[in-house]
Amino acid sequence: MSAPSITVVGSVNLDLVASAEKLPAPGETVTGASFTQHPGGKGANQALAARRLGADVAMIARTGEGPNRDAALALLKEDGIDLSGIVSDPDQQTGVALIAVDAAGENQIVVASGANGDLSPGDVKVPGRPDAILCQLEVPAACVMAASRTPCGLFAVNLAPAGPVPVSLLETADLLIVNEGEAEFYGDGIHRGPGMVALTLGGQGAVLYRAGKEIARAPAFTVPVIDTTGAGDTFCAALVLALCEGLEEGDALRFASAASALAVTKPGAQPSLPWRDEVDAFLKAQD
Q: Catalytic site residues?
A: 233
Q: Which residues contact 84 (CB under 8 A, 6 or more apart)?
A: 58, 127
Q: Which residues contact 11 (CB under 8 A, 6 or more apart)?
A: 41, 42, 43, 44, 61, 95, 113, 116, 136, 138, 139
Q: Is 99 helix (H, G, I), strand (E, B) or coil?
A: strand
Q: Which residues contact 146 (CB under 8 A, 6 or more apart)?
A: 121, 124
Q: How far is CA 271 from the centre of its chain?
A: 14
- Reduce the secondary structure of 185-244 to three states and give it as a string: HHHHHHHCCCCEEEEECHHHCEEEEECCEEEEEECCCCCCCCCCCCHHHHHHHHHHHHHH
Residue 116 per-residue DSSP state: G
Q: How far, in Å, CA of 117 to CA of 61, rounded?
A: 10
Q: How far is CA 206 from the centre of its chain?
A: 16
Nearest CA-CA partner of 76 in 93, 51, 54, 97:
51
